[in-house]
Amino acid sequence: MPGRPAPGSGQAPDGGGRVHLRRTVGHDPPGTGNAAPTRRCLERPQTADRTPLGGRRHPMTLDELNHLPPEAAARIFRNCCAAEPWVAGMVAGRPYRDLTEILACSRALWPTLDESDWLQAFEAHPRIGDVDSLREKYASTKDLASAEQAGTRQADETVLRRLKEGNDRYFDTYGFIFIVCATGKSAADMLALLEQRLGTPREEEIRNAAREQIKITELRLEKQFMAPRSPITTHILDLGNGTPAAGVGVTLTGPDDTGAPSAVLAQGTTDTDGRIGQWFEGPLKPGRYRLCFQTGAWFAARGQDTFFPEVNLDFQVTDSQAHYHVPLLLNQWGYSTYRGS
C-alpha cells in the first residue's frame, strides 16, 4: 500500500486511513537499545477484551475487516495483541489489501511501543496455575499439534513440576509472565528455554519477551485473517527488477467434460508479494489444468513492451489430495516455471 512504512521502520505513514500514533517515540526497538517509557496521549483500558477471535469458525475476510466500525475492528485486533497503541494503529491502518499488508503494518508499529505497552500485551496471557493445568496443556491429543502451546508427547511429571516452579520464579524475578512463542514446542523444550532465560538482566529479558510477543501476534493475525490455502497456488517473480510481480491477473481453468482445461475455476490478481494463495477451494480431480497470466497488460501498465501478451502454463494433476504450487519467473522477453512447494 503506498505510504505504508517498511517493516521495522518505526515510522507511522501519513495519509487517509493510515497509521497515526499520537506520541513521541523515545526508545529503540526491542533488542537494539534501552526502552524508556514515554507519555502518551492515548488512554488505555487495563484489561484486554478476551472475546474469542471474533467468535468465528472461519477466518474473517479483509473486506469484512475493512468495513467494520472502529470499535469492532479494535476488538478483533485486541484478541491478537492487547497493547492498546498497537490496536489503535492497526485499526487506523485500514484498508488492507492482503495479509502481507496487515503483517507489515504490525511490524512497523511494534518498535514504536514502550515497556508499558509490552507489559499490557503480556498481561493478556493467562498465568500458569498448577501442575494439573500443565498436564492438561501438554497431554497428547491430535488437536494439540496446531495449538499455540502444543506438546507432541505426554510430558514427564518431573518436567511439569519444574516448569511450574520455573514460571513462578520467573514471575517473582521479573514481574511479568514467561512469554515464548510455543508453537510446536514440548514441555521439555519450554523448560529448557525458561531455564536459559532465567537469570537474564530484566532490561534484556523484557526485550526477549517482546520479541516472542510479536511472533505470537503474527501467528494470531494469520489465523484470524488467512483463509485455507488453495490446492493450486502460484507466485510470480519479476526477474527484470528482482521483485515480486504484484497486480498480475491470473485465470485458473481445469478439465471440462472432454478433459480439456477449459472450465474456469478461479480468477485472481497477485498480491503485494506476487502470490495467489486463496482463490479456489477445490476439490481437485485428476486431469489437465492451466494457469493463464495476463502478462501483456501488466507490462503495458508499466510502460514496458513484452514478447508474450499472455503466458499459459498447462500442468497435470494426478493426485487430487496433493497441493500444486506453480511459480512463474518472468521478464519482458522470456519466462520459466517449475513445480514448487
DSSP 69-119: -HHHHHHHHHTT---HHHHHHHHHT---SSHHHHHHHHHHHGGG--HHHHH
DSSP 120-142: HHHHTSPPP--HHHHHHHTS--S
Give the C-alpha separation, 333 to 318, whole Å.
Answer: 31
Amino acid identity, residue 195?
E
Are 279 and 266 in contact, with CB atoms under 8 Å apart?
yes
Q: Which three cell numbers stand for residue 23?
A: 506520541
Give the C-alpha separation, 161 to 306, whole Å.
Answer: 66
Q: Is 169 assigned to a binding site?
A: no
Give the C-alpha separation, 107 to 10, whole Å.
Answer: 8
Question: Which sign does the torsion angle of CA 52, 58, 62, 65 carry?
Answer: negative
Q: How many CB atoms lie within 10 A of CB 264?
A: 12
Q: Is 323 assigned to a binding site?
A: no
Question: Which sign does the torsion angle of CA 31, 43, 47, 8 carry?
Answer: negative
Beta-carbon contacts of 3 under 8 Å, excluding residues fewer than 6 positions away, are 13, 14, 15, 18
Q: Is 235 assigned to a binding site?
A: yes
Q: How many CB atoms lie within 10 A of CB 8?
A: 13
Pairing assessment for the beta strands 324-331 and 232-238 based on DSSP bridges? parallel
Q: Which three cell numbers stand for residue 134?
A: 500443565
Give the C-alpha separation, 203 to 60, whole Å.
Answer: 37
- Pick out the residues of the known binding site: 235, 275, 338
- Pick out the residues of the known binding site for substrate: 235, 275, 338
